[in-house]
Amino acid sequence: MLYLLNGVFNIANHPLIEVPFNYRNTCWFCGEPDDQNVDFPKKTYEANIVTHEPICLPSCKECANIIQRSAFTSIYAYRDAIKQGLVKKHQKVLSIGSNWTEQELLESEFEGSAFEGFKRSAWPMFKMMQARINYQGWSIVINNDHVIEENEHENFEFDGVNYTSLEDAVTHAVKTFFLDEQLFTRVLSVLGKAKFTQAIRLCRLYPNLSTKQRESVFIEILDSIGL
């Protein structure tokens, strides 16, 4: 219990990945200027479910905070979730590129100061967001020569269905069983993916939680299973 509590409340300090000279001060996820180093996984107890050693990497503020759930099996699965989060959040800006070409935008005949402003800023905003979504970080190397490779997603079977990844099964379970995503992914991180069904059973009782409630329910659940 003490170990887990430490994991819940303490911020871990994992080894920082190597940052090549031309990537200094860059967010590994989106290429924007970085402003912090983030730990992956964020909490010690999540290391259970991650297939590689814990790492620390440079991130911008937005990428560091956009995802609230846990139980990602690798830094690459976490990166994919961040990209999805960015796409969802910036849907309007990204739709500029689907609705217009740069030329059309420049030649459009809409008048009025509001639209003039939009015309000037819209394309650069779209290009910048597109670049962040498409950005591929540099390869992850720690301790001089140890590379963490991106593996094919590992299939995960649950209830007779073969999901393309654990993350997909999590998304499905959260929707189907009306789970609190943050609670479920935390409990799953502790129990491990072999106990996916048990994690669902434990979390089904608590569908809607405030942040404060979530903390105490999490501790209560760990207690109830003797951790």
Residues making contact with Zn ion (CB under 5 A): 27, 29-30, 32, 60, 63
Yes or no: say if 191 and 198 are a contact pair by the CB < 8 Å rule: yes
CB of 77 to Zn ion, least distance (A): 17
Q: How far is the CB of 33 from Zn ion (least distance, A)?
A: 9
Q: CA–CA separation, 209 vs 206, rounded Å? A: 7
CB-wise, 32 or 180, nearer to Zn ion? 32
Nearer to Zn ion, 29 or 123 (CB): 29
Shortest reach from residue 52's CB to Zn ion, in Å: 21
Beta carbon of residue 216, minimum distance to Zn ion (angstroms, whole number)? 32
Taking a C-beta distance cutoff of 8 angstroms, is the pair 173, 69 a contact?
no
41 prior amide bond cis, ω within 30: yes
Contact 220, 212 (CB under 8 A): no
- Judged by beta carbon, residue 124 or residue 192, the one nearer Zn ion is 124
From residue 117, give the alpha-carbon distance in Å to each of 101, 105, 106, 110, 113.
17, 12, 12, 11, 6
- By C-beta, is 29 or 218 nearer to Zn ion? 29
Of 38 and 96, which has the nearer Cβ to Zn ion?
A: 38
- Least separation in angstroms between residue 81's CB and Zn ion is 13
User: What's the rounded Cα separation, in Å, for the pair 120 and 211?
Assistant: 41
Which residues, 6 or more positions from 174, have their beta carbon under 8 angstroms from its beta carbon?
A: 181, 184
Angle in degrees, CA 134, 155, 46, rounded to 5: 75
- What CA–CA distance (Å, rounded) separates 40 from 11? 11
Instruction: State the Cα–Cα distance between residues 21 and 35, nearest whole angstrom.
Output: 17
Task: Indicate the residue among 86 and 183 with the shorter CB distance to Zn ion.
Answer: 86
Residue 32 vs 46, nearer CB to Zn ion: 32
| Least distance CB 61 / Zn ion (angstroms) | 8
Shortest CB 25 distance to Zn ion, Å: 12
